[in-house]
Structure 1
């Protein structure tokens, strides 16, 4: 008797992915520069590393931001670089580029020449979630609060 190997494609759980992207959106809003226009930047210190969050583009329903590692790089590793798109109408945020690579596919066949995981997009957004949580809970940033609300 011969056994046939059934090759199943990876199918992402959409509710799980959207929940992750909603959490990323809420936390990313807390780290955006005060002035949310193109070119605005905010720096965040996390441990010994410093990161810059820059608004790359604004549209009616979306905003593209880039997260770049400025200091604290380890020898032999490339500094962190992520491009994140925030969708204001859906209230979700997801990584659209990482480490200067092209767009990320929802899933990849496995094995593949680039050695991507089947759920690479989900894993990258899960990393973004962990990074945002660390920044919001433990990060330091200069806050430009106007305590008088412009009254004085």
Structure 2
């Protein structure tokens, strides 16, 4: 008798993942700069940390943004850096890069050389959801007042 060992592959729940990405899309739109053009920036203060949300590129159906932590860094950790793609036709947003790494695979075999979790992509987008909720509910927009324009 031959026994075939099957590997338990991680299979992502697509409805659960899309729901998460839809929530990320709605909240990300609230944090974008008013002018949605490349190189536009909005700064958000969350606690003692300041984050910069920068529009990297705009296309007909997509927009890429970067979320960069500028201050409030913990000495032992790298500052936060995420690249998020917003799909306007599907109304979803997902992380495509994090911490200057290459693209994130939908799932990873386990164990793997870089010790990624099986559901690394879902976990990163769940982190983005938590971060966006914190910013929308508790964050403050950093205002840059220009006192030389004669209005103030």
Instruction: Provide the TM-score with structure 1 as the length reference.
Output: 0.91
Matched, 1:106 2:144: no
1:70-89 aligned within 5 A: 70-89=70-89
- What residue is the counterpart of 1:148 in the other structure? none
Residue 6 of structure 1, CA deviation: 3.4
- What residue is the counterpart of 1:24 in the other structure? 24
Conserved? CA contact 2:45–2:142, under 8 Å = no
In the TM superposition, structure 1's runs of 4+ consecutive aligned residues that sit over 6 Å from their partners are 1-4
SS at match of 1:21: helix
Find the aligned partners of 2:96 and 2:130 in 1 and give their Cα distance. 17
- What residue is the counterpart of 1:95 in the other structure? 95
SS at match of 1:137: helix
Residue-pair matches, total: 144
Conserved? CA contact 2:39–2:56, under 8 Å = yes
1:53-68 aligned within 5 A: 53-68=53-68
Residue 2 of structure 1, CA deviation: 9.7
Find the aligned partners of 2:122 and 2:139 in 1 and give their Cα distance. 24
Residue 5 of structure 1, CA deviation: 4.8
Deviation per residue, 1:101-151 (Å, 9 max, x gap): 00000000000000000000000000000000000000000479xxxxxxx
Instruction: Provide the TM-score with structure 2 as the length reference.
Output: 0.91
Deviation per residue, 1:51-76 (Å, 9 max, x gap): 00000000000000000000000012
Find the aligned partners of 2:33 and 2:93 in 1 and give their Cα distance. 16
- After superposition, the Cα gap between the structure-2 partners of 1:143 and 1:23, relative to the gap in structure 1 and judged at 3 Å, is farther
- What residue is the counterpart of 2:150 in the other structure? none
Gaps of 5+ in 1: 145-152
